[in-house]
Structure 1
Amino acid sequence: MKNTPPKIVCDKLCKTFVQKRTQLVPVLKDISLEVHEQEFLVILGPGQCGKTTLLRTIAGLETPTSGTITMNGKKLDGPTPDIGLVFQSYMLFPWKTVRQNVEIGLEVRGMEKDEVRKVSDHYLGMVGLHGFEDYYPHQLSGGMKQRVGIARAYSLNPQVMLLDEPFGQLDAQTRFFMEQETERIWQMDKRTMIFVTNNIDEALFLADRIVTMEDKLPGHVRSSYDVPLPRPRDTMDPAFLELRARITEEQKLTL
């Protein structure tokens, strides 16, 4: 994986917001980062450290103040169908069914009706939502809503998936279940993944590699850790706990 050219490259990325017309708020400073093909990269950091802005900038929803982002060696200048995004908020259309929420992007692309149904069936099955196709969002649990969002993003066949603290609104038990589901789905249909979280256990459970960010603005990369643990992972495995303790000590994260 790391012997091939990187999939995504952020080179000296900076982002400054303007507030009240004159006040400059630097949020990202000199972010240099490589993400490799089919790598599961987790960006770990506390709130208000710039990690969501970094993800939105990679997605093309924010324009860098300086620096560049390239994908497959080509500069990214805005949103692209090759990058899918799953938000912390569910972003579902409440008046549409589960199937309709998954299919809307396929229909916008002009895909034939039979192919739309085939694709949605595949990804609804992959995320475990067969039997719920005709439910509406208000009839679903938080975890099920997030699975709809994952199925919708996967259905558009992006090369890269960005997940912005997707389980932050879930209770602890549902969150752990969704972490297991995310790992299972990724193993079934490998994509390059960039996953943002403030939870160190979640990072260690999912990541091939963890990049930590400084705990203050402007955000910048602090450290990088390979996670050479076998999958599926046991959070009580001594090797898991040892790496957790090392990252915690070095980063002084609040658990």
Structure 2
Amino acid sequence: MEKGDAELNAAASKIHCENICKTFIQKNTQKVHVLEGIDLDVRENEFLVLLGPGQSGKSTLLRILAGLETPSSGSVLLNNETPQGPGPDRAMVFQTYSLFPWRTVRGNVEMGPKFKGMPKKERRELADHYIKLVGLDGFQDAFPHQLSGGMKQRVGIARAYVNIPEVLLLDEPFGQLDAQTRYLMEQEVVRIWEQDKRTVLFVTNNIDEAIYVGDRIVTLKGKLPGTMDAVYPVDLPRPREHADLKFLELRRRITDATELTL
């Protein structure tokens, strides 16, 4: 770990992962070891980044935290309790947009509260609040095919927030966007988080993005099974500038440490 960064006590953590291992069995009965020995603590309302190349197990770890996968061994605690599968206390935003094409922006955002049985007036007010928060006020009645990629991902973020989760899990949410839109969305996701705090775990393979959005960066090695490599506190004020000397120095340290795998 970067070395000198003390790990949190499990009782003080929002999320505590201990010795998480994951093995998949393929159709030919071959075993694929994806994660090995992951020990991780995440603070309340922390913006933590999981940084690593493809095939490092970071998305699998996120799916375990979401309850979409179960670890082969090890344990996960959320608020000192073992979560049983997916739950409303966690929401996930994927790289693919996964919007209902026949529903408007408002219709997509309010689906969660609708399934929970929230009255129409209340869920519409809640949906409109988060649509405004993500910068889509005025687009409530637009359909997904009328939106840009960045706008679609804003809908996904609003849809996650509207369920009032304690933990927000973002799996390379800007991976499909062009460079300029990606940078704008990095700014937006930080702005949204600062206005409506949640515990966030954000997966990326982009070092600049990790430094820009994160409170801490956890790097994973690039060979399977994925293992934790180091933890880097990001002691930089927000908003951050990519040309800032401290930003560039942290980027150099992470790049040098991961040059064989990133």
* Residues 189 and 59 (structure 1), Cα distance of their counterparts in 2 relative to 1, 3 Å cut: same
* Count of aligned residue pairs for this structure pair: 255
C-alpha distance in structure 1 between counterparts of 2:132 and 2:9, whole Å: 31
| CA distance in structure 2 between the aligned counterparts of 1:20 and 1:112, rounded to whole angstroms | 46
User: Residues of 2 paired with 1:253 and 1:91: CA distance?
Assistant: 34
Partner residue in 1 for 2:102: 95
Deviation sequence 1:53-99 (CA, Å, 0-9, x none): 00001100001111110000001221011001000000100111100
3-state SS of the aligned residue for 2:193?
helix
Counterparts of 1:172-183 in structure 2 under 5 Å?
A: 172-183=179-190
The equivalent residue for 1:48 is: 55
Q: Find the counterpart in structure 1 of residue 3 from structure 2.
A: none
The runs of 5 or more residues in structure 2 that have no matched partner are 1-7
Normalized against structure 2, the TM-score is what? 0.95
Cα RMSD (Å): 1.5
| Secondary structure of 1:74 counterpart | coil
Match status 1:57 vs 2:64: yes
Q: Which residue of 1 aligns with 2:45?
A: 38
Q: Give the structure 1 partner of residue 133 of structure 2.
A: 126
Cα deviation, 1:128-180, whole Å, max 9, x if unaligned, reads 11111111101100000000000000000000000000000000000000000
Question: Are the aligned partners of 1:2 and 1:36 in contact in 2 as well (CA < 8 Å)?
Answer: no
Letter of the 1:192 counterpart: T
Question: 1:150 maps to what in 2?
Answer: 157
Q: Alpha carbons of 1:190 and 1:3: their partners in 2 closer, same or farther (altered >3 Å)?
A: farther
Asked if structure 2 preserves the Cα contact closer than 8 Å seen for 1:42 and 1:210, the reply is yes
Distance 2:107 2:61 in 1: 30
Give identity over the alignment, percent: 62
Task: Provide the residue aligned with 1:193 in structure 2.
Answer: 200
Task: Determine the C-alpha separation between the residues in 2 that align with 1:13 and 1:168.
Answer: 26
Secondary structure of the 1:85 match is: strand
Give the 4+ runs in structure 1 shifted more than 6 A.
1-4
Is contact 1:13–1:66 with CA below 8 Å preserved after alignment?
yes
User: Where do 5+ consecutive residues of structure 1 fail to align?
Assistant: none
